[in-house]
Every structure is written in C-alpha cells, then in structure tokens.
C-alpha cells in the first residue's frame, strides 16, 4: 500500500484476522468500509468503533470513495464470485496477509507461527511487552481477555504478529525473530500433504532475520523445553486449575503462575518468554507478566461453575486431545458432555478417525452440523458420518441442543469448535444455571 491510504475497504471484515487490521486503520483515523456475510459481535464492535459495514451484496451502499484513494483488502475465505470483488476490479486489491506484511514492516516484528497455540502464545508475548513498558503494537488472532480486543496500537518499536499458515499467509512476513509452536497436519486442502506444510514452515523461517525458537523438530532453530535449553520450564505443578512452574532464563530461576489450564500452555509460555527475552525483557519482568495474563476468549474460557461451562476454539484432533487432557486433570471424577461443531468439510474428511477417537472420551458427545466457512459440501462427509463411530455420540441441531443438554445433566459442559458455536453459550448458560 504505497498510495496514500485515505480509505480502506475490507471484504470479510468480520474475520478475526481481518478485524484486527480494520481496528488498526480505525485507530489512526482512516475511514473504513466493510462487507461480511452475517453480523457478529465483532462486526457490532467495529461499527461502534466507526466502521461502515454492510451484510449484503448491494453495491449501491458503497460510500463512493475513488479508486485512486482506496485500498481493498480481502480474505481468501470469501466466495470467488462475490459481487463486491467484481465491483472493485479496478481498485488496488490485496490479500489480508499482504496487508499485514506491509504494516508489520514498519516496526521490529516478532512473529508466532504454528498449527496450534499461536494465538495464545502471541497474546502472551504482547502482554509481556506491554507490562514491561515497551508499548508494542499487536495483531492477534483472538480476543484477549485483558483488553477485550485483538489489536493493540503502540508507539514502541515492536510489533507482535500472529503468523497464519493458511493460504501460505505468513510468507508475506519478514520478522526479526519468530517462534513456531507445533506443526501438525492441517489445511491439507491448501497444502496437499504434511510434507508440503512442513516445507512451507521452513521457508517461512528462512525469511526471519534473527533467531527462531520452536517446540518442534525444525532445522536451524533454538529448541525450548529441553533439559539443556537456556530458556525452559521446570518443576511444573498443576494447582487448582492453573500451573505453577519455574521459568529458567539463562540459569536464573523465576517462579511464575499461569492461569491458562493445560501443560501445553506452559510450553507456549516458554516460547513467548524466549521472544520477550530476545526483545530485552528481564526474566523477572517476564515471570511477573505471565502471572497476570488472563488468557484468550474461546480458549478454555470459563462461563459458569455450576455446572462448569467451558468454551474452546479446538477444531483439530490435536487441540481436542489437549483440551480433554486438561479437563481430565481438573475434573477427574466429573461427568462431561462435549458439544462439538466440526469446522470445514475437508478437515472433517481428513481427520475423521482421529476426531472419532477424541470425541469418544467424554460421557456424552453431541455433534452439531458441520460449519462450512468457505467450503461447499463433500458427499458423504457429514456430522452423521462423524458420529457413526463415536461412543455415546449423537447428532443434534442448534434448536434441540438446550433441551438435550438439560436432560443429560452434565457436571462439565464443553462447547467446542471454530465456527459460530460461541453464539449458543449465553442461552445454554441461562438454561442450565
């Protein structure tokens, strides 16, 4: 975006990644117009923050900004035949990933990538830098509990970016330092194979000018968590839903407390600490900031204690495994009902057996219709096919969910998925508490 950015249009503005960039432009006073298919809490907030948003393809509502004064940013999640794309054919139009790359190039970029855990890790890092007085900018793929937003505008030298592997988006970034959480087979509709996915991660890391940190086996990176690693976690102890551990940084021991359940989040915290340490933050400051970090909405988010109602974004078998392991640690003798909304037909097809294995671990599993997002149906890939080999599993509609959950009387209710399942939380909470 070399032109003077007088106006910005977002196609798919309600996406979590798109909305953070929209918030950036709104925060600096740039007029924003956007389209999305349906309203959401995010679009409501963006409208309150000053964006003009439409939810249909009536192009007559466009404010009339001239092409030479306007940049159009779109997400690959929107349909290829969207009327708005045709309408803006003569405008400068770029992908979200390119826009993020251009924005992050103006500061010292710290990037967090990985198929799981990148949102939590990048949010931890942003929180650490903020608490340390660095006044960072941040583009996060989730809503931070502390701030209620996925974006932070700062005047300091650092920008924290969640580096998304979907559609090879992170290849537009040129970070100074980076971390990779995990690399599991995912987005195979884009990559075709796990091997190609891994190659792309390695290509991304080759673009990093400084050090890279990882929890997985990648070449030319600094491994964390190993006994010999200069930055690692030791003496990890679960304590009433949180984890207490020693954070070791260059031989110094710092006792800290992480409010996010799950041992995997301790490892994410070590990656965030590694990047923060590179940015010059002391071990003491890092440990203190981690203790005050309150997490990410829809990442093991508590909504009620009786019954326990937890919402989580897990949409991959590995993420489900981490979630259910944490539930077993916290509530070993409690009856758990899992409500799962599969996300994407391709992901359901590619990991059918792995999903069935994980979804058989609870007392009851209720499966909602597949959330299609950008995809068209695939013959034979349905929630019924998924439920077929799940012990104590059944398919259910959104309309029938509350009644069925009430009949099951769970001690713990999990609402899980990356689609719009979060919209059901309030009504279920009202019904059950």
pLDDT one-digit tens code per residue, 386-417: 999 898 999 999 999 999 999 999 999 999 99
Task: Encode pLDDT of 346-357 as tens digits.
Answer: 999 999 999 999
Better-scored residue on pLDDT, 192 or 342: 342
E strand or H helix at 258: strand 252-258
How far CA 416 is from CA of 96, 365, 378, in Å, comes to 26, 11, 22
- Over residues 237-274, the pLDDT tens digits come to 877 768 899 999 988 999 999 988 777 788 899 999 99
**Distance separating alpha carbons of residues 33 and 51, to the nearest angstrom:** 6
Helix (H, G, I), strand (E, B) or coil at 313: coil
Q: What order do you get walking across the sheet with 212-214 strand by strand?
A: 151-152, 137-139, 158-162, 108-113, 177-180, 212-214, 222-223
Please tell me the distance from the alpha carbon of residue 224 to that of residue 85, in angstroms, as a whole number.
44
Residue 351: phi, psi to the nearest 5? -125, 30
Domains observed in the chain = 7-94 (3.40.50.720), 105-292 (3.40.1190.10), 301-432 (3.90.190.20)
Burial (CB count <10 Å: 0-12, 13-18, 19+), residue 46: buried
DSSP string, 37-83: SS--HHHHHHHHTT-EEESS--GGGS----GGGEEEEE-TTS-TT-H
Mean pLDDT of 143-157: 92
Smallest CA-to-CA distance from 154 within 175, 170, 131, 171 is with 131
Task: Note the pLDDT of residue 198.
Answer: 81
Instruction: Return d(Cα 192, Cα 185) in angstroms, integer.
Output: 10
Q: Residue 164 region, left (φ>0) first, then alpha (ψ -120 to 50), else beta? A: beta
């Amino acid at each position: 975006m070399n032109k003077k950015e007088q106006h910005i249009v977002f196609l798919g503005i309600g996406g979590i990644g798109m909305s953070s960039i929209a918030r950036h432009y709104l925060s600096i006073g740039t007029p924003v117009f956007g389209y999305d298919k349906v309203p959401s809490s995010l679009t409501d907030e963006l409208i309150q923050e000053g964006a003009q948003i439409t939810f249909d393809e009536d192009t007559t509502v466009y404010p009339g900004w001239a092409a030479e004064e306007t940049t159009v940013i779109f997400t690959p999640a929107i349909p290829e035949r969207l009327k708005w794309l045709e309408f803006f054919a003569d405008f400068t139009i770029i992908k979200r990933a390119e826009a993020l790359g251009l924005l992050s190039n103006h500061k010292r970029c710290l990037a967090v990538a990985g198929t799981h855990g990148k949102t939590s890790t990048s949010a931890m890092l942003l929180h650490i830098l903020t608490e340390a007085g660095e006044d960072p900018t941040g583009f996060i793929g989730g809503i931070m509990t502390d701030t209620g937003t996925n974006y932070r505008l700062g005047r300091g030298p650092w920008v924290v970016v969640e580096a998304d592997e979907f559609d090879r988006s992170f290849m537009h970034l040129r970070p100074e330092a980076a971390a990779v959480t995990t690399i599991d087979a995912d987005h195979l509709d884009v990559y075709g194979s796990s091997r190609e996915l891994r190659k792309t991660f390695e290509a991304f890391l080759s673009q990093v000018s400084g050090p890279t940190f990882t929890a997985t086996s990648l070449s030319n990176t600094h491994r964390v968590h190993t006994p010999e690693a200069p930055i690692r976690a030791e003496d990890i102890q679960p304590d009433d839903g949180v984890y207490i551990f020693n954070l070791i940084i260059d031989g110094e021991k710092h006792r800290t407390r992480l409010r996010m359940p799950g041992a995997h989040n301790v490892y994410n915290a070590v990656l965030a600490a590694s990047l923060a340490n590179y940015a010059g933050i002391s071990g003491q400051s890092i440990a203190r900031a981690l203790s005050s970090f309150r997490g990410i909405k829809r990442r093991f988010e508590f909504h009620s204690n009786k019954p326990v109602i937890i919402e989580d974004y897990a949409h991959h078998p590995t993420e489900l495994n981490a979630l259910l392991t944490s539930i077993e640690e916290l509530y070993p003798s409690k009856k758990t009902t899992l409500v799962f909304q599969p996300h994407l037909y391709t992901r359901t097809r590619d990991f059918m057996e792995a999903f069935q294995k994980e979804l058989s671990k609870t007392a009851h599993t209720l499966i909602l219709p597949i959330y299609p997002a950008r995809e068209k149906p695939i013959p034979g890939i349905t929630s019924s096919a998924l439920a077929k080999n799940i012990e104590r599993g059944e398919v259910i509609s959104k309309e029938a969910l509350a009644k069925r959950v009430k009949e099951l009387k769970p001690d713990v209710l999990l609402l899980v998925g990356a689609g719009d399942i979060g919209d059901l939380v309030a009504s279920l909470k009202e019904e059950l508490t």
